[in-house]
A and B are shown apart, each in its own frame.
Chain A
């Protein structure tokens, strides 16, 4: 079945360092979403990418959708302690089912 793979599983960074998480799908996606889950919290929607090659920015966060619409990345510049949590990508090939990656847990050391 359709799978969305996400790497790395964990990432430890020093505050101020950059961070990137990658998402790869076995099939072409109609769009991809990114969510953040703080420790003890629930996933919260960050952004949705729809177009091939699309790049969107939210302050220090940069989201990319690959040309083939099979991969995506989230890059955080100069991490802060408030960035800690688990980042999930989620995609679908059309319809109602949103398939989530396993997530990347980010630890930031002050």
Chain B
């Protein structure tokens, strides 16, 4: 069964801390994505990557960075966490295909920044 695994289900951090969210997929997918989900706003794309060491900004990249050193792993980094980054973070992956292929999501990380 295909799987996208996020390292933590719940995380509590302090303002100003550096935060790492890890995501691993076992489907040999080329594309990986980070979204944040907030009530009433749906899923908003933070960053995506279509190959190892490649990254592209999504719609809300400010305050975030990413790293993709291996094909199966995509990390989201909050350089200095702020309270407005409290949210549900969802990682997803997809195969290369011809356009936007269907996304497989991880279970999400609920991050609280105090």
Same complex: yes
Chain A contacts to B: CB under 8 angstroms: 1, 6, 9, 30-31, 33, 35, 41-45, 48, 88, 90-92, 94-103
- Evaluate contact between A96 and B56: CB separation under 8 angstroms: yes
Indicate the size class of the contact surface on chain B.
20 to 34
CA gap between A49 and B2 in the complex, in Å = 23
Q: A94-B99, A99-B59 are in contact. List 14 more A-B contacts (CB 8 A).
A: A9-B40, A33-B100, A33-B103, A42-B105, A43-B90, A43-B103, A88-B42, A88-B43, A90-B100, A91-B100, A96-B48, A96-B100, A97-B48, A97-B100
Chain B contacts to A: CB under 8 angstroms: 31, 33, 35, 40-45, 48, 50, 56, 58-59, 90, 99-100, 102-108
A103 nearest CB across to chain B (Å):
5
B97 nearest CB across to chain A (Å):
10
Which of A6, A43, A98 sits near B100, CB closer than 8 Å? A98
Find the residue from B35, B41, B100, B102 having the highest chain A CB count within 10 A. Answer: B100
CA gap between A42 and B105 in the complex, in Å = 6
CA gap between A101 and B40 in the complex, in Å = 9
A30: which B residues are within 8 A, CB to CB? Answer: 99-100
CA gap between A53 and B99 in the complex, in Å = 19
Which of B99, B102, B107 sits near A42, CB closer than 8 Å? B107
